[in-house]
Structure 1
Amino acid sequence: MKHKTINTVLAISALLLTQSCTTAIIDEGDIDGLPPITRTVTYQSDVGNIMFNNCITCHGGAAPSDGLDLSNYQNTKSAAEQRNLIQRMNSVTNPMPPQGLLSPEIRQIMDKWIEDGLLEQ
């Protein structure tokens, strides 16, 4: 009985660890085939939700992974300007999140945010 309890605890722990960072959509689709985004993309309307849903589980809180906190506008803007945030989000060989590329639509929004000037509102 003791081994069964230990095995159950280990199985649950392993499951929680594999799900702790994010659940990315593994999609190597191309953003070039998408219709262009004609509206202005801002952190408040678009990017903040992307960070919340895909990044801050690992890159937020008291001890963010790699010292990269993506939980607010200023930090996300800084990571886009001074770190390789967008390149990693678009990298097929070294993607962020590590489970695989986010959907082409999400990556297109991030690219448009850069193009629009990293606006907050």
Structure 2
Amino acid sequence: MYKNIFKIVLLALVLGIQSCTTAVIDKGNKNTLPPINKTVTYQTDIKSIMTNNCITCHAGPAPNAGLDLSNYQNTRYSAAQGNLVARMNSATNPMPPSGTLSPQTLQIIDKWIIDNLPEN
């Protein structure tokens, strides 16, 4: 009796795993979004993006890749060098590793750079 239940559960598990797929969700394109008409600043807009997406790995005494994004100066430097946006837009090795940020978030970061990386 228990062998039959075990076989049924095992079969259901195998079928469940085989039916799993990775969904590809088209998040759109940041170039098709309406323009941002306000000045984007680190304190108001960028800091929360870094906090929610980056500093779990890129902060503290030993940040990944030696990149600390926990403050304005370091984030500004990385953005000015082009490294920050290049990695966020990378199709083969995106940051964060869980996948690319939304087009809206990427547009905010781009606008911050266009606005000359203001802090406040």
TM-score, with length taken from structure 2: 0.75
Kindly tell me the number of residue pairs found equivalent between the two proteins: 96
CA deviations over 1:73-114 (Å, ceiling 9, x no partner) = 000001112251111112222211112100111000000000
Aligned pairs for 1:76-115 (under 5 A) are 76-82=75-81, 84-115=83-114
- Alpha-carbon distance in 2 for matches of 1:92, 1:29: 14
CA distance in 2, matches of 1:106, 1:57: 18
Where does 1:18-57 land on structure 2 (aligned, <5 Å)? 28-57=27-56
The structure-2 alpha-carbon separation of the partners of 1:27 and 1:43, relative to structure 1 and needing over 3 Å to count, comes to: farther
Aligned equivalents of 2:55 and 2:43: distance in 1? Answer: 16
Q: Percent identity?
A: 65
Structure 2 unaligned regions, length at least 5: 1-24
Q: How far 1:27 moved relative to its partner?
A: 5.8
Cα 1:104–1:83 change in 2 (3 A) is closer
- Structure 1 residue 29: Cα displacement: 2.6
> Structure 1 residues 113 and 37, CA, compared in 2 at 3 Å: closer, same or farther?
same
Q: Which residue does 1:4 correspond to in 2?
A: none
Radius of gyration: which is bigger?
2
The higher relative CO (CA closer than 8 Å, separation ≥ 6) is in 1
Aligned Cα root-mean-square deviation (Å): 1.4
1:38-62: per-residue Cα shift (whole Å, max 9, x none)? 0000001000000000000000011
**Distance (Å, rounded) in 2 between the aligned partners of 1:107 and 1:93:** 17
Change (3 A) 1:27 1:59: farther
